[in-house]
């Protein structure tokens, strides 16, 4: 099985995340994309933040109709600060049998989906060399220069002007945001009055 991973806080998950994951499957031939929500310490939460449980529930709702998407809770279960190299190492071990059954070398390691906006600071990641050597880096275009010294595969993805922080800002300021998330996530945010949502 060809397995890729997409990590993030998903606060909230939006159409950009889902579109990117689908592109990895359709363009690069991966069988499944694991969505790995990060654990966020309560001491680092900002006003109107969603809880760990709420973020995971929204993510489950967003991906439930796509059989090739899956929720992986290893960072939530680990708690504390999760480093990417640890997550990659864990997933390579967890899915060892599936990965080693692949004939092409790039599919024998977890595919790590990474935005080009992270290139500049990548060398400062904890054990970044292990991230690069233990995964197949799938570099998604984010409108940033994408010269990258580590071996990678470039993804020709659509550039969607959407981010979780922008959605939170739009909700708090009463601007349009409904179609930036799935209908299920939209309903969930309204039901739980997340991110400062107020009925108007």
pLDDT digits (tens, 9 = 90+) for 82-124: 899 999 999 999 999 999 999 999 999 999 999 998 998 999 9
As given in the structure block, the two tokens for residue 83 are 């480093």
Q: The domain at 3-194 falls in which architecture?
A: 3-Layer(aba) Sandwich (3.40)
Residue 64 or residue 42, greater confidence = 64
As given in the structure block, the two tokens for residue 132 are 């690069």
| Mean per-residue pLDDT of the chain | 92
Q: What is the pTM of this model?
A: 0.94
End-to-end Cα, the chain, rounded Å:
48
């Amino acid at each position: 099985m060809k397995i890729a991973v997409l990590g993030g806080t998903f606060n909230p998950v939006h159409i950009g995340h889902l579109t990117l994951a689908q592109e990895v499957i359709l363009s690069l031939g991966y069988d499944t994309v694991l969505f790995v929500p990060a654990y966020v310490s309560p001491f680092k939460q900002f006003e109107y933040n969603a809880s760990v449980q709420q973020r995971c529930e929204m993510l489950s709702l967003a991906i439930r109709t796509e059989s090739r998407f899956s929720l992986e809770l290893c960072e939530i279960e680990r708690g504390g600060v999760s480093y990417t190299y640890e997550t990659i190492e864990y997933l390579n071990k967890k899915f060892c049998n599936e990965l080693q059954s692949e004939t092409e070398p790039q599919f024998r390691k977890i595919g790590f989906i990474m935005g080009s906006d992270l290139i500049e600071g990548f060398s400062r990641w904890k054990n970044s060399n292990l991230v690069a050597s233990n995964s197949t880096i799938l570099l998604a275009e984010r409108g940033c220069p994408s010269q990258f010294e580590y071996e990678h595969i470039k993804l020709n993805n659509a550039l969607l002007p959407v981010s979780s922080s922008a959605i939170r800002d739009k909700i708090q300021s009463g601007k349009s945001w409904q179609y930036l998330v799935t209908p299920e996530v939209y309903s969930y945010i309204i039901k739980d009055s997340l991110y400062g949502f107020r009925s108007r």
